[in-house]
Chains A and B, each alone.
Chain A
Amino acid sequence: MTIEQWLEDGKSDAQRRKLPELANLLEGLSRATAALRAADWNDDAERDSYVSALSQPEPPTA
C-alpha cells in the first residue's frame, strides 16, 4: 500500500472514531514511514538483497 493511500485510510478511521487529533499524528507518522521506506537497507524484489546495501560506518579518526 502506498503511504498516501495508507494516510487517507488512517484519516478516515480517525474521523469515523471522532479522534481528529489522531489525523495530525498520522501525518507525522507518514513522514517517518516515508523516511523508513527510503532507507537503503530495504529489500526490493527487483534489486539485490539489503545485505549488499549495508553502508559501513565511518571508522573513528583520531
Chain B
Amino acid sequence: MVLPTITRKESVILELLSGGQEKYGLEMVEASGGELKRGTVYVTLQRLEDKQFVSSRQEARPAPEVGIPRRLYQITSLGERVFAARQAADAAFSGSLIPVGG
C-alpha cells in the first residue's frame, strides 16, 4: 500500500489534532504559531476531510443563541495512522542523512 502524501500544512493540522481533542479552525490558527492562516485553514481542512483524515461536526448551541454555528474538527483513526507513518518516515529519512563533507 502506498503511503498517502500530505503537505506541510496538512501535517501541521494533523499534529495539532493528534491529541484526540476536538478543535476549532481559529484555535488551530492561533496554536500553529503563524504556520496556518485564516484564509487557508478551512480549505486545507476540507481537503483533509475529503481524504478522510479528519472529521467535523457543527457545535451544539444553546437555544437563545443565533448565528452561524462554528465547526469542530477531530482526527480520524486513518488520519492518526497516516500522521504516525509520516513522522516515522521523516525520522528515518533525517536519521539516514549523511552530512555534507562527512
B partners with A: no
